[in-house]
Each structure stands twice: as structure tokens, then as C-alpha cells.
Homo-oligomer: A and B are copies of this chain.
Amino acid sequence: MGKNKDKASANADADTKSKKRDDELTSSDKKKVADQASEKAAKAKAKAEKAPAKKKGSAKKASSKPATEAAKKAKKDEAVKAAKKVGKDKSTKKSKKKHKAQLSDFTSALKVTPGFSLADLDASSTPAFDGDQKKAEKLMRKTGEELADLQERLYASERHPDGRSVLLVVQGMDTSGKGGIMRHVIGSIDPQGVELTSFKAPTKEEQAHPFLWRIRNALPKPGYIGVFDRSQYEDVLIVRVHDLVSRPVWMRRYGQINAFEESTVAKNTTIIKVMLHIDADEQKARLAERLDNPEKFYKFNPGDLKERAYWPEYQDAYQAVLERTSTDIAPWFVVPANNKWYARLAVQQLLLEHLRSLDLTWPEATFDVEEQKAALAQL
């Protein structure tokens, strides 16, 4: 036991360290929030419209939206404050409404649209959210309940003729936090309704089939949330970077993937494609952390450094993926992931917003309820 304990506290230290680092990374964001809070809501919109111009060039696209959202939120905050003066009961209701409205925009803030440039996205930004780590974690706990409710409705619809399913695809460079998403976001969902697949280097059997074969085999059944930790996109990422197949072959794959996703969506599967975006410095820090902590050695592989040497080629390959496969029916969402806590919140909210949009209802009874009650009473 003693040994376990020591390790546990070493773990806790490591967590504290990484949390501290997260905090440092967002100190500028925090300042922004504090500044905004001290201003009147009436001025917020005007300020938000000016904000993008003030920002450094590397955060154009993604950060203009959150700024607008922040303004909207500030306005609503004022409305809530006013409502609170009216009466407690009313204010509670409005506050809850606001709370949801505030959280309903990750989908639009993070969606990849034509003209998107990965190189211009600040990996430390926090689109659609202006809180800190503590607030993010609190929100995750709160919205976890709604997520659980929606997941159960999805699961309950399993046997329906038009049973729906959801597929969450998670991609990102080494150390971008895919494992943390699995542990903290997917881990908060009832495991009975989740089908998680981690795609590694293809086996001999998989290599003997077309590249989408193993992907098709792992698609979620009706009622389930399928989660891909890496995916079909490795076949146009690592494969492209290292020329594992010829250029004409991987070039064809973008279209093949789009066609595959179109047929998957046609079978009532909602696809959410997420790229966790970290920058090169962040990866360096995270790799160093793994080499500093014997409990993280198992996560490290000398091959990781070899891959890191191809950083620019991977960024180009990701940019091509985002340009060629962000479709109307299955768009990409790029999540700035230097802050692990933000990435987790964002993926949870993307999942939540998509589940909400399915408008899931509880299935009707397939039996005569009163008849069954009477039968039970006699047993």
C-alpha cells in the first residue's frame, strides 16, 4: 500500500505541475476576461468588434468569433443581473437559460469553413469560452448530466428502425491530448453506450484489405456513440508524410473518405471530426514531461522524436485534410489544445451540441403497460 500511495502523490504532483503550466499559458486570456468584466455590457459589442484588429495575426479566424460571442454573453449577463432584481425564482430560470445559451456555440466557433488556415490558429486560444480552467471544469461537471441524459436517450433508441448513432473522430499530433479526451470526456459517459476504437499501425490482416475496411468494421451500431482515437485520416497523414503509398493513391483517398462519410451519414450516423491543435513548443514541453517522469515512460517512444522532425510536413498534411474533407455533412472542428482543460470542455460541448440537435425522444412502450403491470402484480 505504501508504495501505491507514494506513486499516487507523485501523480498528484505531476497533475499540479501540468495544471500550473496550463494556467501560465492562458494568463493573457485571463487578463482579457478580467478586463472585459470590468467594462459595461453596453460597450462590450463595440469592443469585441475592434478586438480582432488588436490581436496578433496568428489568431484571426477562430478568435474573431469568440470575441463576438463574449459580447453576446456579456449582454446576457446584464439581463440576468436585471432579472435577479425582479425575483429569485425567475432569475434562476433565466440564469439557467443563459447558461445554456452561453454554451451553445462551440459548433459554429470551431467549424472549419473555406479559407481556414491551421497556421493562423492560435493553439492557446479558447474560442467560445472566456472562463478559466476552474470554470471549465465546473461547466463540464454540470453539463455532464445533460450529456448522460441525451446519451441514454440515444441508447434507448437502439432498436428503432431509424436508430441513430454518433461517431466522434479524434485526430491530433503526438501528445496533443487524445488520451485525455478519452479519459475525461468519453470516460464521463456510460461505457455501455460507447464503442471506443484506437487505431494503431495496421495489422497484416488490415493491410490485406482496402484502408477503409477496418474503419467500416468499427462504425458504431445504432444507439451507440462510436469514438475513433485516430482514424481513416492516418491514411492521408502519416501515410502521406512518409510516402507509405504512392502519391496518386493517397491523393485519391480524400475523395474516398468523403464518399465513405457521406454513406455513413446517410445511415443515420452523425459524424463529429475533431482535430486537437497544439503548437510545436507545446509538444516539446509535453515530450520533455514524459521523459522527466518514470510513470510516463511507457507513453514515450523514441519514434515520437523522429515524427516530430516532420512537424512542418504534418502541418501541411493536416491543412490538406481540413481543406479537402471538411464537408457540409461531416465538417471538421479544430480545437486549440495547448490548454488541455479547454480542449476537453470543447470536445464535450461539441458532443453535447450535436446530441441536442438530434432532438432525441424516449421511445414509446412496445407493450401494453397496464397489462404488464397487472401481470407483474400476480407474480
Q: Which positions in A face B, CB cutoff 8 Å? A: 1, 3-5, 7-8, 11, 96-97, 100, 145-146, 149-150, 152-153, 156, 158, 179, 182-183, 186-187, 189-192, 194, 196, 198, 229, 284, 287-288, 291, 294-295, 297-298, 300-302, 305, 308-309, 356, 361-367, 369, 372-373, 375-376, 379
Contacts and interface: CB of A to CB of B under 8 A. Distances in A.
A274 to B, nearest CB: 16
Nearest to A198: B192
A196 B192 contact: yes
A182 B192 contact: yes
Given A4-B356, A300-B372, 11 more contacts: A1-B100, A3-B361, A11-B149, A182-B192, A284-B379, A291-B372, A291-B376, A297-B363, A297-B366, A300-B367, A305-B379
9 contacts: A8-B146, A192-B196, A288-B373, A291-B372, A291-B373, A294-B362, A297-B363, A298-B363, A300-B367
A197 B97 CA distance: 39
A294 B366 CA distance: 11
Contact of A145 (B8, B97, B158): B8
A303 to B, nearest CB: 10
A201 to B, nearest CB: 14
- Interface centre among A11, A96, A363, A375, by most chain B C-beta atoms within 10 angstroms, is A375
A297 B8 contact: no
Given A149-B8, A284-B379, A367-B302, A183 B192 contact: yes
Contacts of A372: 291, 300, 302, 305
B305 A376 contact: yes
Q: Which of A186, A302, A376 has the most chain B CB atoms inside 10 A of its CB?
A: A376
Given A1-B356, A4-B146, A190-B183, A297 B379 contact: no
